[in-house]
């Protein structure tokens, strides 16, 4: 199985052992979907929404539907919140939750290794998006060709980051939420 974040399309059968038992449509009404699991899913949805809002703002700026001054007022703070939130979220997962979940279900260890590796790949994409956003913001009032080149570079970097992040969030949920539903938050030590 190819576990590359840019090409994978989900988990192989050996890592779907709990997902097949607890498919997504069963999650909302399951008795073991506790506060932490709901919070985790809400945080992931927040990352999806903020990533989408950043993409929309970038598209509107490139298409001249958002003035440079408005873009500069909206974009940097939200991008910083987005990237900082991701960094903190990943750190907690890598050092606290993934080891705990691996110990609870060793058959999923390879999946948690993949998710941890994803964090490194996503971090590199975050850095690229941050750097190209800074370059764009510095040229936002410059000549139109320079602005468009910077905007296109940032769009490429942002789209790469968002695609990787969405795949990762989906795969992470597909590994973790079924484990929580199977064992319960209390027995896992996360309630």
Domains along the chain with CATH numbers: 13-188 (1.20.120)
Write down the pLDDT at residue 69: 86
Write down the pLDDT at residue 1: 67
pLDDT in single tens digits along all 191 residues of the chain:
689 999 999 999 999 999 999 999 999 999 999 999 999 999 999 999 999 999 999 999 989 999 888 988 889 999 999 999 999 999 999 999 999 999 999 999 999 999 999 999 999 999 999 999 999 999 867 788 898 899 999 999 999 999 999 999 999 999 999 999 999 999 999 98
**Alpha-carbon dihedral 121, 41, 10, 89, rounded to 10 degrees:** 20
Write down the pLDDT at residue 141: 76
Give the helix ranges, DSSP H, for the chain.
35-62, 68-92, 98-104, 109-139, 144-183, 185-188
Write down the pLDDT at residue 2: 83
Distance from C-alpha of 91 to C-alpha of 188, rounded to nearest angstrom: 19
Write down the pLDDT at residue 50: 96
Tens of pLDDT, residues 139-170: 867 788 898 899 999 999 999 999 999 999 99
Sign of CA dihedral 70, 128, 11, 37: negative
Q: Can you give the pTM of this predicted structure?
A: 0.94
What are the two backbone dihedrals, phi and then psi, of residue 107, each rounded to the nearest 5 degrees?
Answer: -65, -15
Write down the pLDDT at residue 143: 85
């Amino acid at each position: 199985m190819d576990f590359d974040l840019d090409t994978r399309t989900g988990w192989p059968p050996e890592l779907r052992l709990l997902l097949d038992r607890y498919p997504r449509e069963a999650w909302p009404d399951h008795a073991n979907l506790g506060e932490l699991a709901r919070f985790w899913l809400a945080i992931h949805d927040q990352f999806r929404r903020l990533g989408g809002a950043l993409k929309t703002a970038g598209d509107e700026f490139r298409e001249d539907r958002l003035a440079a001054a408005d873009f500069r007022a909206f974009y940097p703070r939200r991008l910083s919140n987005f990237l900082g939130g991701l960094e903190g979220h990943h750190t907690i997962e890598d050092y606290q939750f993934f080891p705990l979940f691996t110990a609870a279900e060793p058959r999923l260890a390879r999946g948690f290794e993949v998710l941890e590796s994803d964090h490194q790949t996503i971090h590199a994409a975050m850095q690229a998006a941050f750097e190209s956003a800074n370059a764009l913001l510095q040229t936002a009032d410059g000549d139109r060709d320079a602005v468009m080149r910077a905007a296109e570079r940032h769009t490429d970097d942002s789209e790469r980051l968002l695609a990787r992040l969405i795949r990762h969030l989906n795969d992470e949920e597909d590994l973790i939420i079924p484990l929580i539903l199977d064992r319960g938050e209390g027995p896992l030590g996360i309630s």
